[in-house]
Amino acid sequence: MAMVFIDKAVIIQYPHSMTLLTLQLLLCLFTVADEWDTLDPEESIYPLLKSFLPVSIFYNANVAFALASLKGVNIPMYIAIKRLTPLAVLIAGYLFGKGKPTTQVLLTAAGCVVAALGDFSFDLLGYGLALTRGVPTMFPSLGSLASVLLTICYNKDFFTPRCLQTMYLVLVEKSGAQDGVSSIEIMFYNSFLSLPFLSFLIIATSEFPNSISLLLAKCSYLPFLVILVLSLVMRIVLNFTMFLCTIVNSAITTTIVGVLKGVGSTTLGFVLLGGVEVHMAPRLDFSDWWAKDTRKGTPVVVKMENPNYSVVEIQGPDSAFRPVEKSRGKNAKQVTWVLLLKAHRAVGCLTWFATVFWSLLGAIKKRLSFTHPLGSERLGRDRWLFTAIKLFLALSLLILGFEIIAYFRGWHYFESPSLHIPTSTLEIQSLLHLVYVGWLWLRADYIAPPIKALSKFCIVLFLIQSVDRLILCLGCFWIKYKKIKPRFDEEPFRNDDAEGCGYVYPMVLVQIPMCNEREVYEQSISAVCQLDWTKDRILVQVLDDSNDESIQQLIKAEVAKWSQKGVNIIYRHRLVRTGYKAGNLKSAMSCDYVEAYEFVAIFDADFQPNPDFLKLTVPHFKDNPELGLVQARWTFVNKDENLLTRLQNINLCFHFEVEQQVSGVFLNFFGFNGTAGVWRIKALEESGGWLERTTVEDMDIAVRAHLHGWKFIYLNDVKVLCEVPESYEAYKKQQHRWHSGPMQLFRLCLGAILTSKIAIWKKANLILLFFLLRKLILPFYSFTLFCIILPLTMFVPEAELPVWVICYIPVFMSFLNLLPSPKSFPFIVPYLLFENTMSVTKFNAMVSGLFQLGSSYEWIVTKKAGRSSESDLLSITEKETPSKRSQLLRGVSDSELLELNQLEEQKQAVAKKPVKKINKIYHKELALAFLLLTAAVRSLLAAQGVHFYFLMFQGVTFLLVGLDLIGEQMS
């Protein structure tokens, strides 16, 4: 029911209905973009597109006429006209061979017609368009002729409507019932076929230049932007439900439900609006066919020299002195009900705001009252950034107090920096006024110029990074359009020379490095031991760096269990944990038996590969001697656990779907993700092996292998299940390591890159794009521009940032980031705000790594929750029975049986130690929250709408993150 009201609200302010329809279908196409992956690359889609072409044509004309009719018809009359649609569907279905409808259905359709006959009135064009949309296919020629005549009569343009709601509903029902096509597929093909046709119409009708500029101008108004987003989202929901209802039930069911929805919409409209007349278009005036401009009088332009007055332009006496039309009178009862409804809505809004504010204060009080010494973040040697933010905050509060005093004293110079500032002593009112005027001169002459220069520099970096992101997205679209992906022979290991034409599998070493991974060790070892590979051609190394003896015993017991099942698996433990993960892998590769293996697959402790992982990755190495690495994609078992995991899923989906895939296809190089990949051991050895010099050993070995000429392949279709951090504390530490390590590596390998023998363009890609743009510039400008310069410009309005920098481009870039995960579109605003919030952590890590400050070489293992997939939960019910266990142990010696029993007893005796978890308070985020909220108050004094909303919501986001109210909440 809400769709009609939303479309009406949008059309009143934005009359370009064709552009609105194009935006709705474009978002619909992105939402169901996953249908690309379901298409068979060997089959042609042209016959299927051809069969859906009539549905698309009828659908577009139907919605276009609906939006056009809403310009001239009020909502109740528009809904009344649509009541004729059920009768039209009945007749069309009868003509298509569905047979005679039942008596109940005929009576329902007749009731709709009777209800509609008393409602036709008044606006010829608007009702004619709506009637053409709902009127019958029983008289197609008459309907088309009426539409042509109406359109010609009104604006002298010849446009013949070819489609009606009846036709496309009947065709949708036919596609679902006979062709077996789902509603999602119909939405996908309908949007795909509609966009070229609508783009042509927008250009042909001259909507294109004006509609885009008007849309950008209107989007700066927040209420319109909210209504527009609702219209786009509601169109997707409406299309899905309407197609689904038509396929599952029938076209007549969909139209009758639409009539009932219309009755509810009319009732709701009269209740909400209190009987007030809705927007009506002017009556059709036939005199403008032949009459020209008949307005009399000489145009007069009045210009006032005082800039406080606006310019008034009077075209003639008619426009200035036309009598005011009297509004329709309302009785006392109607006025009372309208006032009561408005008061009820106002009280409801105030109650909601009060509840939210009280809940936020309660959460803040609860966190601040926690006085445990571990309840706050340890700043350590990274205190420099927090100190700078505190000084900036203190200065901002001082200036804000000064500005508030000036505001109440009437010194409104900050509202317009170009206004006259007092210079003579006669204009100075007091000593405080003199100080304030001095501050204005200091601000304009000495503070604003360097801020402008820094902001321009950051904007240039922002635009460069945006262009890079856009090029990556275009590359991803090209890969999907051309269906480019690495392939191999169906039987890569078939050896005709072998006896019986058998298969010869290469020797593969599988490594699982872990450290104190109590929650996930069992499921990762279980998944790796079930890999589908010849048992005598695979060896599993469990590389345990745990310093907790109880966890060591648990892992040993798990390894022994799989060893008894016949899996070739060994357990390794280092007494001295040097070099973290790199040292662990380096120690394992130094074993003598590794020389017999050709490839090594690496999985972190929370990764669970599918049994066919090796058969989907290792074959790519055959007949490709230059290939050094095959990287698989990550998928996340806990991506929907909380808001934090959902936002991480957006970033990682873009990283794998766009960045890794485009770099792998076009450059044969990308950063190794440290896990879920298969290396050629020869490539590792020639590149120098694992080094312990940074905390990003995976990126280090990838860069060195690239400098030695090895190529990489990324497989987007091969997915390995894992976890993302569920608490903000774990995510913050992970991001610190991921952003400080690359800067360490850049300092260490810059000389090697410059002196290497690879092509110059590869050197430029490594230095300019891989390191500088994506690892250094991105955190620098995002923190400096949105967390420092933007609040600073609120106190220095001479350097104010344009709206497109803080609104349009960030929203567009967030939209691009969400394309690989279309189901995350409802989180676009939280994602944008959270990314700006994380910029302080990434900037601090980048500076620490670049200049070797603070904890740049600190490695903290990311905590896991041990979430299980559906397959894991099913396997729990398939535990071994005592009979199977006795059969397994029948061939075991007495000493091995004794050792196994001891390990089992230790595993059962070791209970999980209760670890007291707490939510922490993060000082830098809290300081920035108060800084941004202070700047928001300052922008409110200057009546800066978009700046105020951005600063307020960004400040609240920093406050929530600083109090650790995002992510996992501890009791």
Rounded to 10 degrees, the C-alpha dihedral 486/490/491/493 comes to: 10
The residues pairing with 542 across neighbouring beta strands, listed in sequence order, are 512, 571
Where b means 16+ CB within 10 Å and e means fewer, 371-383 reads eeeeebbeeeebe
- Two tokens at 963? 């109090």
What would the 3-class secondary structure string for 351-369 be? Answer: HHHHHHHHHHHHHHHHHHC
Non-local CB neighbours of 644 within 8 Å, separated by 6+ positions: 725, 726, 727, 728, 731, 966, 967, 968
Helices (H), 179-327: 183-204, 208-219, 222-248, 251-273, 317-321
Of 871, 872, 867, 968, which is closest to residue 637 (Cα–Cα)? 867
Non-local CB neighbours of 371 within 8 Å, separated by 6+ positions: none
Of 79, 216, 69, which is closest to residue 150 (Cα–Cα)? 69
Distance, in Å, from the CA atom of 213 to the CA atom of 451, rounded to the nearest integer, reads 30
How far apart are the two ends of the chain, measured CA to CA in Å? 42
Contact 28, 187 (CB under 8 A): yes
Non-local CB neighbours of 45 within 8 Å, separated by 6+ positions: 39
Q: Describe the chain by its helix, strand, coil percentages, rounded to 5.
A: 65, 5, 30
Q: Which long-range contacts (CB under 8 A, 24 or more apart) does 881-885 make?
A: none
Distance, in Å, from the CA atom of 537 to the CA atom of 529, rounded to the nearest integer, reads 13
What strands lie across the sheet with 538-544, from one edge to the other?
569-573, 538-544, 508-514, 599-602, 677-680, 627-636, 711-722
Residue 57 has a CB neighbour count (10 Å cut-off) of 19
**Catalytic option among 382, 545, 604, 700:** 545
Distance, in Å, from the CA atom of 319 to the CA atom of 296, rounded to the nearest integer, reads 10
Distance, in Å, from the CA atom of 970 to the CA atom of 965, rounded to the nearest integer, reads 10
Helix (H) or strand (E) holding 422: none
Give Cα 575 to chain centroid, integer Å: 45
Active site annotation includes 545: yes
Contact 967, 731 (CB under 8 A): yes
Residue 937 has a CB neighbour count (10 Å cut-off) of 18
Where b means 16+ CB within 10 Å and e means fewer, 761-779 reads ebeebbbeebbebbbbbbb
Contact 951, 404 (CB under 8 A): no
Of 382, 165, 344, 342, which is closest to residue 255 (Cα–Cα)? 165
**Catalytic option among 7, 123, 544, 698:** 698
Where b means 16+ CB within 10 Å and e means fewer, 69-80 reads bbbbbbbbbbbb
Distance, in Å, from the CA atom of 833 to the CA atom of 824, rounded to the nearest integer, reads 15
Active site annotation includes 37: no
Look-up of token digits 């941004």: 932
Non-local CB neighbours of 342 within 8 Å, separated by 6+ positions: none
Contact 494, 829 (CB under 8 A): no
Where b means 16+ CB within 10 Å and e means fewer, 329-367 reads eeeeeeeeebeeeeeeeeeeeeeeeeeeeeeeeebbeeb
Q: Residues with catalytic annotation?
A: 545, 698
